Amino acid sequence: MEYLWWKHGVIYQIYPRSFQDSNGDGIGDLQGVIDRLDYLNDGTERSLGVDAIWFSPTFPSPMADFGYDVSDYEEVHDDFGDMATMDRLIAEAHKRGIRVILDFVPNHSSSQHPWFVESRASKESPKRDWYVWRDAKPDGSPPNNWIAAFGGPAWEWDQRTQQYYLHSFLIEQPDLNWRNPEVEARMHEVLRFWMDRGVDGFRIDVMDRVLKDPQHRDNPPQENPRIRALAQAAMQMHTYDQNWPEVIEAVRGIRRVTDAYPERMTVGEVAGTPEQIAHYYGGAALDGLHLAFNFPFTRIWDDRWIAERVRRSVDAFEAALPAGAWPNHVFGNHDVDRFSSRVNRDGRGHERARVAALMLLTLRGTPFVYYGEEIGMANTDIPEKMLQDPARFYSRGRDQERTPMQWSREDAFTTGTPWLPYGNLAVNVEQQRDDPASMLSLYRRLLWFRRRSDALRDGAYTPVDGLPTGIYAYMRLYGDDRLLTVLNFTNDPIAFELPASLHTTETLIGTHDLPAAAQSITLAGNEGRLLRLA
Ligand code: GLC
């Protein structure tokens, strides 16, 4: 088995509009990222120590969905810089041993992409079939009942050519037709275009929707009232427009393209049960995605932060993966509330975020860290009139987790007016950098320890049974390198004896002070520790 950078490494997600602005327009940009690379990894333990950065889309876009509506797949958005800056960013990142992952959005383009403009011009257009066009039903209504992910019908009527086009997301995001071989070939060219420039991999947006039922059958209603209540799109099961069995063939096609280059990786956004997600790795041949996002931690809210429940979800993913497939874990991204805010009903979300960090960085598999998690950024309350995200499919949209990176108490993100308001600037990098008790210090310790630990990078994952309710404990074992993580998910102290077979010799890293290793352990509420085993 080969251990490549994307297995060993920690991947850090940058939301480019919000990381660092270099030109005072209030919007983060690529030069800003270059200026902050040393923060991410300068080769010393002063820096965070990540191995790769994934950018949410950096391509030209009318920004209807903040870049997930791409109008040119092979350019850089003016807001972010130009191709020369991107090339420099790739080179500067590589100099520091940081890999660069771009966001590939294959399911849909912008409605302003020249391909769609041409496609919608006439029914005879050579690009007509590059998108999904269908006649109305005899009564004029859309071809089927599919609901777009952001609400409303997934079909938009085109007056000029008298047909509907499919958009699984916004009206401004028409779905590309991957059944047309020209589309697939052209999208493969996009991948080569970026790999030729040195890009190391792709996060693939909604991979699970790229092919749908060719008969476009109606989706059945969702009967579960709890799920129905989540969003308009959750009123139906996405039987025919998501996780359609043929999608795996499109995945394999992408994999063949990336396999022609050394050490490139893909991580796909897919939804479903552990089995459905594991399927995207390609089965025994492992010829699918290198990684398929494992999202259960992003769906943890107060009531679900339960040791037994979290363990079950880790175990279920491990069990579902085909032999040799590599797990991954994600607590946050640009689509979900910040973790510490999701588990903050009693005001102790920050403590839980420390436990989560210890877990994320000691579990088996590639950890994804969303910018700002490492300093414990929380959701930012944004006044209604300043909200920007068009997708209000739940609550107030996604702006609250996309606010500017909090570098210091002053507004170091920009010299101008930030595109979204700052969160609580008292939580910032500068203040945490030299504080050994800070979240940033905890992250740095874990990241640098992980880098040198065979057990954390490659070791087996073995959960420990028989400990008190509220404790999740697991071993990571690789030859003589034997580690134990113990996590208290409750607010109360819990004391327990380790089984005689587990002899601890050293407390390595913890959310609290580090007591000497012993057979009996007392964890404070929301305390976690990493220990060495004999
Ligand atoms: C994915 C992205 C999300 C975007 C959507 C449509 O879910 O993560 O931000 O809005 O796809 O592209």
Nearest Cα to Cα of residue 61 among 71, 51, 52, 53 = 71
Name the helix (H) or strand (E) containing 54: strand 52-55
Locus of tokens 């025919």:
240
Note the pLDDT of residue 2: 67
CA of 356 to the centre of ligand 1 (A): 24
CA of 204 to the centre of ligand 1 (A): 10
Q: Which of 59, 63, 206, 368 to mutate to test the pocket of ligand 1 (most atoms within 8 A of CB)?
A: 206
Note the pLDDT of residue 357: 98
* Residue having the nearest C-alpha atom to atom 5 of ligand 1: 68
Domains of the chain in start order, with CATH, are 5-109+180-452 (3.20.20.80), 114-166 (3.90.400.10), 460-533 (2.60.40.1180)
Active-site residue, from 29, 65, 205, 373: 205
Tell me if 7 CB under 6 Å of ligand 1.
no
The answer to whether 101 and 267 have CB atoms below 8 angstroms apart is yes
Q: Is 69 a catalytic residue?
A: no
The answer to whether 256 and 288 have CB atoms below 8 angstroms apart is no
How far is the C-alpha of 134 from the C-alpha of 136, rounded, in Å? Answer: 7
Looking at the CA of residue 68, tell me the nearest atom of ligand 1: 12
Return all residues near 152 (Cβ < 8 A) that are at least 6 apart.
Answer: 171, 232
* Residue having the nearest C-alpha atom to atom 3 of ligand 1: 335
Q: What is the 3-state secondary structure (H, E, C) of 84-104?
A: HHHHHHHHHHHHCCCEEEEEE
Note the pLDDT of residue 394: 54
Nearest Cα to Cα of residue 52 among 12, 102, 92, 2 = 12
Tell me if 65 CB under 6 Å of ligand 1.
yes
How far is the C-alpha of 61 from the C-alpha of 70, rounded, in Å? Answer: 5
Q: How many CB atoms lie within 10 A of CB 143?
A: 19
Q: pTM of the prediction?
A: 0.97
CA of 206 to the centre of ligand 1 (A): 7
Note the pLDDT of residue 430: 97
Active-site residue, from 269, 335, 337, 373: 269
The answer to whether 364 and 327 have CB atoms below 8 angstroms apart is yes
Per residue of the chain (534 residues), give pLDDT as tens: 467 999 999 999 999 999 999 999 999 999 999 999 999 999 999 999 999 999 999 999 999 999 999 999 999 999 999 999 999 999 999 999 999 999 999 999 999 999 999 999 999 999 999 999 999 999 999 999 999 999 999 999 999 999 999 999 999 999 999 999 999 999 999 999 999 999 999 999 999 999 999 999 999 999 999 999 888 999 999 999 999 999 999 999 999 999 999 999 999 999 999 999 999 999 999 999 999 999 999 999 999 999 999 999 999 999 999 999 999 999 999 999 999 999 999 999 999 999 999 999 999 999 999 999 999 999 999 998 899 998 765 567 899 999 999 999 988 999 999 999 999 999 999 999 999 999 999 999 999 999 999 999 999 999 999 999 999 999 999 999 999 999 999 999 999 999 999 999 999 999 999 999 999 999 999 999 999 999
How far is the C-alpha of 32 from the C-alpha of 38, rounded, in Å? Answer: 12
CA of 68 to the centre of ligand 1 (A): 6
Secondary structure letter of residue 108 according to DSSP: B
Q: How many CB atoms lie within 10 A of CB 132?
A: 25
Tell me if 63 CB under 6 Å of ligand 1.
no
CA of 515 to the centre of ligand 1 (A): 44
Return all residues near 18 (Cβ < 8 A) that are at least 6 apart.
Answer: 28, 371, 402, 403, 404, 405, 413, 419, 420
- The backbone torsions φ and ψ at residue 449, rounded to the nearest 5 degrees and listed phi first, read -65, -45
Give me the torsion for CA of 89, 91, 92, 95, rounded to 10°.
150
Nearest Cα to Cα of residue 64 among 163, 145, 174 = 174
Looking at the CA of residue 169, tell me the nearest atom of ligand 1: 6
Tell me if 295 CB under 6 Å of ligand 1.
no
* Residue having the nearest C-alpha atom to atom 7 of ligand 1: 206
Q: How many CB atoms lie within 10 A of CB 306?
A: 16
Q: How many CA atoms lie within 13 A of 425 on its CB side?
A: 10
How far is the C-alpha of 297 from the C-alpha of 10, rounded, in Å? Answer: 17
Q: Which residues of 308-325 are buried (b: 16+ CB within 10 A; e: fewer)?
A: eebbebbebbbebbeeeb
The answer to whether 326 and 364 have CB atoms below 8 angstroms apart is no
Q: Which of 65, 102, 113, 333 to mutate to test the pocket of ligand 1 (most atoms within 8 A of CB)?
A: 65
Nearest Cα to Cα of residue 527 among 351, 388, 391, 396 = 351
Q: Which residues of 391-417 are buried (b: 16+ CB within 10 A; e: fewer)?
A: bebeeebbbbbbbbbbbeeebbbbeee
Note the pLDDT of residue 413: 98
Tell me if 172 CB under 6 Å of ligand 1.
no
How far is the C-alpha of 529 from the C-alpha of 516, rounded, in Å? Answer: 11
* Residue having the nearest C-alpha atom to atom 4 of ligand 1: 68
Strand order through the sheet with 291-292: 291-292, 265-268, 201-204, 99-104, 52-55, 11-14, 366-370, 328-330
Give me the torsion for CA of 139, 144, 150, 152, rounded to 10°.
20
Tell me if 205 CB under 6 Å of ligand 1.
yes
CA of 54 to the centre of ligand 1 (A): 14
How far is the C-alpha of 309 from the C-alpha of 315, rounded, in Å? Answer: 10
Give me the torsion for CA of 52, 57, 60, 65, rounded to 10°.
-170
Q: Is 175 a catalytic residue?
A: no
Tell me if 206 CB under 6 Å of ligand 1.
yes
Where does residue 229 rank: exposed (0-12), middle (13-18), buried (19+ CB within 10 A)?
A: exposed
Q: Which of 69, 209, 335, 394 to mutate to test the pocket of ligand 1 (most atoms within 8 A of CB)?
A: 335
Nearest Cα to Cα of residue 216 among 239, 240, 243, 235 = 240
